[in-house]
Amino acid sequence: MHILNYDQVPDGKPLWQKVAWIIVEGRRLLALKSLHRLGDRAIVGFVSVDPSVPRLVAGASELLLCTVWSAIEELVEERRPRKVTLFLDYLFESGLQIPPRGITPLPAGQDLIVVLEK
């Protein structure tokens, strides 16, 4: 499961996170990703812009499903996996074994990946 640790995201202001060049139908576009936290909700947005003609080519936004860490712990307790590992920001060498009683507080990091092994 990929989990947004939204406590690590500033509340109230959009955070522009990723900028990348992409090719769409032979056109070179600039793609941007934003994350906007609103209390216990978060919205992820994507836009693509043609820099040669400064206008929006495409855009989309989605409300992220936000949950509290205790809900993840309940899922782990319900599924009873053999092993649970928490990874930080796609750094797979950073895997932390999660003890049966969970981990509190959560480590700092915006992206958390939880792997449950049967």
Please tell me whether residues 58 and 79 are part of one structural domain.
no
List the domain range (segments joined by +) for residue 87: 69-117
- CA 108, CA 117: separation in Å to the nearest integer? 23
What is the domain count for the chain? 2
- The tokens for 86 are 């928490």
**Is the domain of 98 the same as that of 60?**
no
Whether residue 4 lies inside any domain: the answer is no
Predicted local distance difference test score (pLDDT) of residue 104: 57
Question: What's residue 21's pLDDT?
Answer: 93
pLDDT score for 94: 59
For residues 99 and 57, state if they share a domain. Answer: no
Segment (H or E) for 61 = strand 55-64
Q: Do the beta carbons of residue 46 and residue 32 sit within 8 Å?
A: yes
Is the same domain home to 76 and 35? no
Poorest-confidence range of 1-10, 16-25, 45-54, 104-113?
104-113
Which range, of 14-18, 39-43, 96-100, 108-112, averages the lowest pLDDT? 96-100
What is the per-residue pLDDT across 49-99, written as a single tens digit (0 to 9) for each? 998 887 778 888 888 766 667 777 777 788 888 877 777 756 566 565 555
Give 32-46 pLDDT, tens digit per residue.
999 888 887 888 899
**Assigned domain for 111 exists:** yes
Q: What's phi and psi for 103, nearest 5 deg?
A: -135, 125
Short-list 48, 5, 1, 4, CA closest to 27: 48
